[in-house]
């Protein structure tokens, strides 16, 4: 049967114990899987193995073929690891899997044994992330070279392996490839065209990173897509299905101790050419955010016009359907503004008017508050053909209707430069 087996051989080593220093898996039992690992996802694979060996798989590892455990051990604990594992298995036709039944996660355990004064750069999860950055190597012919490349990548972030492979680590440092000492924080106020992912960059949430990536993709016409996209991890690549694939690759996950989402692996060069049709990276929310002001000024803006404006302003093509959702989203955002003021601002409102430029000489009446950080917070706008007592009264009635549920405005302070119309309108209320 074995001669005819077309799928990669997977040998599971279990009931043994990892021994540190030389790193060996002591006294294992070994069992070869009868199924094709490619048929499984990560959790099914683990369930299947647990059933076979009749034991819980607390921590699972595999080893890059042809090298020692200390050099080739990889964690196998999530879908991302599993796809890397399959690539290794398929490229080598054989791979060994090691089950750790009761130890703490191996890398932590080793770190405890070998205390080090240096501050940890990577958490255990982050080490995995860096490992996940090297998948292209598996397709190269020389597996030895491939393996040492993998060690390179992981060694400079792994204290245990730093000790094992000091020479490699020095080489790696010479290349100047380490994470920056101080992680840059994403600046959400930066001009959208200038946004660019950086290694180590921190974000308040995956959503903030995604929004910044949309800007980056649109600014350069990069057809980015999410290979992994859940609440804990993002794996972003470029130009799906194109051969050769663009080398850009970004991996981000939550930092262990902070409420911070971080880019922990990044290959930032592109070989692709500018695209005008971007896929999932440009969402209707992203489009909607660009149009909040336009929709405020002309709520009846047509979807066709929006589509044309997206094409002109951002040099990308989107569908009318995307514009429809974007417009809905922008209108909801505008409604949300008033609720936001009620929640977070002091009850002082500044009201003012200004002339609108353009073909129609209309006037804009506006009401702004200040939030807890003393930042200006726009609450309401209206465009009127002339500013007078009646238009101000109409504006204030609507404003108070929204923020004071039709009350008489007790407790709310209005500030203005005392236009005659405003004074009269307030008196009449
Ligand atoms: Zn690219």
Tell me: the pLDDT tens digits for 312-333?
988 888 888 889 888 888 887 7
Q: Ligand 1 centroid to 271 CA: how many Å?
A: 6
Q: Ligand 1 centroid to 172 CA: how many Å?
A: 25
Return d(Cα 32, Cα 13) in angstroms, integer: 9
Q: Ligand 1 centroid to 215 CA: how many Å?
A: 14
Lowest-confidence region among 163-177, 188-202, 259-273, 285-299: 163-177
Q: What is the pLDDT of residues 221-231, one digit of tens each?
A: 999 999 888 88
Return d(Cα 385, Cα 355) in angstroms, integer: 10
Say yes or no to pLDDT of 237 above 90: yes
Return d(Cα 356, Cα 361) in angstroms, integer: 6
Structure letter (DSSP) for residue 55: S
* Sign, CA torsion 299/304/308/314: positive
Q: Ligand 1 centroid to 224 CA: how many Å?
A: 7
Q: Ligand 1 centroid to 274 CA: how many Å?
A: 8
Q: Ligand 1 centroid to 273 CA: how many Å?
A: 7
Return d(Cα 429, Cα 408) in angstroms, integer: 7
Residue 341: in which H helix or E strand, if any? Answer: helix 320-344
Return d(Cα 138, Cα 94) in angstroms, integer: 13
Return d(Cα 404, Cα 387) in angstroms, integer: 23
Q: Which residues contact 355 (CB under 8 A, 6 or more apart)?
A: 361, 362, 363, 364
- Report every protein residue that has its C-beta within 5 angstroms of ion ligand 1: 222, 238, 246, 248, 270, 272
**Helices 320-344, 303-314: inter-axial angle, 10-degree rounding:** 90
Q: Higher pLDDT residue, 142 or 80?
A: 80
Nearest residue to 38 via CA among 78, 8, 3, 74? 8
Q: Ligand 1 centroid to 400 CA: how many Å?
A: 51
CB 118 within 8 A of CB 169: no
Q: Ligand 1 centroid to 206 CA: how many Å?
A: 21
Q: What is the pLDDT of residues 136-147, one digit of tens each?
A: 333 333 332 233
């Amino acid at each position: 049967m074995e001669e005819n087996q077309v799928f990669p051989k997977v040998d599971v080593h279990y009931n043994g114990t990892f021994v540190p220093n030389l790193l060996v898996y002591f006294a294992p039992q070994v069992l070869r899987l009868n199924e094709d690992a490619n048929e499984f996802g990560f959790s099914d694979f683990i369930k299947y193995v647990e059933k076979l060996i009749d034991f819980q798989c607390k921590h699972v590892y595999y080893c890059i073929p042809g090298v020692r455990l200390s050099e080739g051990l990889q964690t196998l604990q999530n879908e991302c690891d599993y796809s890397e594992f399959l690539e290794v298995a398929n490229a080598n036709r054989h791979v060994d899997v090691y089950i750790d039944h009761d130890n703490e996660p191996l890398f932590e355990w080793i770190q405890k044994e070998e205390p080090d004064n240096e501050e940890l750069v990577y958490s255990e999860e982050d080490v995995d992330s860096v490992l996940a950055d090297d998948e292209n190597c598996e397709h190269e012919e020389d597996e030895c070279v491939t393996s040492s490349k993998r060690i390179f990548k992981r060694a400079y972030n792994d204290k245990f392996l730093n000790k094992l492979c000091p020479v490699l680590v020095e080489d790696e440092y010479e290349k100047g490839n380490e994470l920056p000492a101080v992680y840059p924080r994403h600046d959400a106020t930066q001009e959208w065209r200038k946004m660019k992912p950086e290694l180590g960059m921190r974000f308040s949430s995956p959503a903030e990173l995604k929004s910044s990536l949309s800007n980056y993709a649109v600014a350069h016409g990069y057809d980015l897509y999410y290979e992994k996209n859940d609440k804990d991890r993002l794996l972003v690549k470029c130009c799906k299905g194109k051969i050769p694939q663009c080398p850009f690759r970004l991996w981000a996950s939550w930092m262990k101790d902070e409420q911070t989402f971080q880019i922990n692996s990044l290959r930032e060069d592109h070989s692709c050419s500018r695209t005008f049709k971007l896929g999932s990276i440009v969402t209707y929310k992203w489009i909607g955010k660009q149009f909040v002001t336009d929709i405020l000024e002309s709520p009846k803006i047509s979807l066709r016009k929006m589509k044309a404006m997206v094409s002109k302003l951002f040099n990308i093509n989107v569908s009318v359907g995307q514009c429809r959702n974007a417009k809905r989203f922008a209108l909801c955002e505008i409604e949300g503004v008033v609720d936001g003021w009620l929640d977070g601002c002091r009850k002082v409102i500044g009201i003012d008017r200004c002339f609108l430029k353009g073909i129609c000489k209309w006037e804009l009446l506006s009401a702004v508050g200040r939030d807890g950080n003393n930042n200006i917070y726009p609450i309401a706008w209206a465009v009127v053909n002339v500013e007078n007592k009646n238009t101000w009264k109409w504006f204030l009635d609507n404003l108070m209707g929204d923020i004071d549920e039709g009350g008489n405005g007790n407790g709310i302070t209005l500030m203005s430069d005392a236009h005659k119309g405003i004074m009269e309108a307030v008196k009449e209320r």
